[in-house]
Structure formats: structure tokens, C-alpha cells
Amino acid sequence: MSSSASSNPSTLSYEQAGVNYDLIDPLKVAAQRAAAATAGHLAGHGFSEVKASRGESAYVVDVGPFYLASIVECLGSKALVADEMKALTGKSYYDSIAQDTIAMAVNDLITVGATPLVVQAYWAAGGSDWFGDAQRAQALVEGWKKACDTCKVAWGGGETPALAGIVEAGRIDLAASCTGIISPKTRLSVGDNLAPGNAIVLLASSGIHANGLSLARKLVERLPQGYLTEVSPGLSYGEALLAPTILYSPVTEALAAAGIAVNYSANITGHGWRKLLRHASAQTYRIHTVPPVTPVLKFIQQHAQQDDREAYSTLNMGAGFALFVNAADAQRVVEISKAQGVDAWVAGQVEEGPKQVVIEPIGVTFGTEDLQLR
């Protein structure tokens, strides 16, 4: 992420917050190559992979009557904020944390056009005693169930290991796997129909969601009252961070029910708006309207002294999900999203041109040198 580094020495960047992609990336590349080499096994079962899904947010297999999509996703470090806030307020936030975890999986799975069907829980605690806090455990179960209800997925089961010596004492490593189908097969959305003239519709985020938390946690050291510093009157920084991630599958399912084709989608998570460059094709994404920035994100940008370029390259800045649709459908997409309780904006369009996202209202452009995901 070096290309997004600010020249302001007071700026708190993502690297300073402790994640070093230079160390992880060689392994990722080796793993991706090895993984790609296993695709041929599917032929022995009479199936084949959808090659374009390699490098996308979910992996897709053609199993005949429909496509099968699957994924595993982790929450990341957001649970640490819940732990700190519990110590400060006595309240358990694990119902929100549960929703965040499912959102990480479901919001990725739906990008390829899948209907999520089954979620499995992976809750790895630092010791058996984690599960002995009945209030917290109950909040986790209830939040998980509620998120499944929202997404209309079956909670299949899962694992609740006690991993002393691997997971830190008093902590929990939360992840979710999700399996879904793409049916009818025309719902497959890996960018084949992404083209100049498409409209870009952005769906509102609820706050930081579950990406950028390393930065957000690091920032606490700079705040006069830490997590209890007010973001807006009556709303602490910690509470604001813990707003649960929006689940977007009700929107994508409603679009399918309305017969609206989605040509491509991007879940705006790590790397912020650079995720709009996710698809491999060379096209320009011109943004004429940016959503209002959620107060907690504005607060982070301000206190981390990030310029717009740094902020939009790291955080979702009010837009949690992007849909690339035919221009004629754009306004209906906004209406359908709003009917599902998710604010939305026709924010821009796809144009012929070099691969870049041009965010006109803030004068920021990200190019291919800013995002290496594959």
C-alpha cells in the first residue's frame, strides 16, 4: 500500500498500524498459484471451475444445473474493540460482532451473484473459559442467529475450539464459511458484462464495518478519552466503531427477484475505494457523487490526519458495497436498495479508458499501481 502513503509525517497510515503486506504477499501468491493448479480435479467429478472467479471474492464451480459458490472469511481484529468497550461500559457487543463476522462472508459471497444458503461458525477461543461468560456467549449466539435470519441462510453448525497457546487468553478468533448457489446461472457475476456505459451504484455503509480496525485501534492512543471520546454528542468512538456491518444480501436477492442484472459487484472492505478497481479489465470508473461520510469515518480521517487520498484508499468512507449495473436500471437499483433499508446512490459510470477510478468530487484518482489484489 506504499503508493497511498501520505507525505504528512503526522498521518497515521495502515502500515503504521501494524499490517505488513510485503511479508504476507509472497505466501499469498504462492498459495494462489498452487490453488489454481488444483482446478483440474473438478473434471474427475464431472464439473469445472469458473476460471474468472479465481481472484474474485468467492470461488465458483459449475456443477451443472447451477453454480456453487463458497468462501471462508474472518472477522479480523474488531473483537478487540468489543473487548475494550466491555471493560469500559460493562456491555457485551458480541451480538454486533457476530453480525460483522457473517457480513464478512456473506457480503463477499454475493459479489459473484450467489444466494447464500448455509453459514458455518468458526469460533476459536483462547481457552474454555471464554465460553464461560454466559452473557457474552449468549450475545454471540443471538447476533449470529439474527444475522442468519436477515440473510435467510441456514446456520449449519460449526466449530468452537478452545485453542490455548494459539489464540490469546481471553480472546476469540471469529470466522465464517458460507456456501451458496448461483441460480439461474445467468446470475453469475464475474464481470463478463461489465462495460462502458454501466452505472455504478454505491450502497451505504453503517460505519467502519470490519476493515481498517488496526488503524482505528491504533488511533485510540491519540484520543483524549480513548474509546470514550465522543464522535458526535452522546456517541462514543468505541460505540460508533461497533456499529455492525450492513448485510447486503437482502439487496442483491431483491434485485434478482426484480429481474435486474448485476454485471459486477465489489464489496468495499480492505483497500477502501481502491476495491472499485477489483475487476481485471481495463476501464475507467468515474465517480460524480460520493455518499455522505459516516461520522466515525470522518472522525478517523480527521484524527489520523489523513488526506482524502489516504482515507478513501483505506476506509469505505460511507460506501460499503458497489454494484455495476446497466444504466437504465440504476435508479431502480437505488429504489430497491432503499426499500430494503439500505441507502444508495447512483454514483458514477464506467467509461472506456485506462484502468482507474476517478473520484471527481474530491479530486482523487487511483490507478492500477494502487491495487494489486491478484
Q: Which of 1, 4, 14, 71 contacts a second copy by CB under 8 A?
A: 71
Largest CA distance in the chain: 61
Pick 169 or 339: Cβ nearer a second copy: 169
Exposure string for 269-285, b = 16+ CB within 10 A, e = fewer: bbbbbbbbbbbeeebbb
Question: What is the distance between the alpha carbons of residues 211 and 291, in angstroms, rounded to a whole number?
Answer: 18
Instruction: Tell which one of 88, 91, 156, 185 touches a second copy (CB under 8 A).
Output: 156
Residue 298 contacts residue 207 (beta carbons within 8 Å): no
Least Cβ distance, residue 291 to a second copy (angstroms) = 27
Taking the least distance from each CB to a second copy, the nearer of 177 and 301 is 177
- Least distance in Å: CB of 182 to a second copy? 12
For a second copy, which is the closer residue by CB, 47 or 195?
47
Nearer Cβ to a second copy (10/22): 22
d(CA 11, CA 301): 9
In the bound state with a second copy, the residue whose beta carbon lies nearer, of 127 and 226, is 127
Minimum Å gap between C-beta 24 and a second copy is 5
Among 51, 135, 159, 196, binds a second copy (CB under 8 A): 159
Does position 218 interact with a second copy (CB under 8 A)? The reply is: no
Task: Tell me which of 1, 12, 79, 103 binds a second copy, using CB under 8 A.
Answer: 79
Taking CB under 8 A as the criterion, the residue among 13, 99, 179, 283 binding a second copy is 179
Identity of the residue, 77 or 326, whose beta carbon is nearer to a second copy in the bound complex: 77
Smallest distance from a second copy to CB 159, Å: 5
* 89, 120, 193, 229: which one binds a second copy (CB under 8 A): 120
Name residue 297's amino acid. L
Nearer to a second copy, 10 or 87 (CB): 87
Q: Give residues 126-155 in contact with a second copy (rule: CB under 8 A).
A: 127-129, 131-132, 134, 137-138, 140-142, 144-145, 148-149, 152-155
Binding residue count for a second copy, defined by CB under 8 A = 87
- Restricting to residues 288-317, name those near a second copy by CB under 8 A: none
Interaction residues for a second copy, span 39-68 (CB under 8 A):
39, 41-42, 44-45, 47, 49, 54, 59, 61, 63-66, 68
In angstroms, the CA 113 to CA 264 distance is 8
* 7-36: contacts with a second copy (CB under 8 A): 18-21, 23-24, 26-28, 30-32, 34-35
Pick between residue 73 and residue 329 the one whose CB is nearest to a second copy: 73
Residue 7, strand partner residues: none
CB nearer a second copy, residue 282 or residue 339:
339
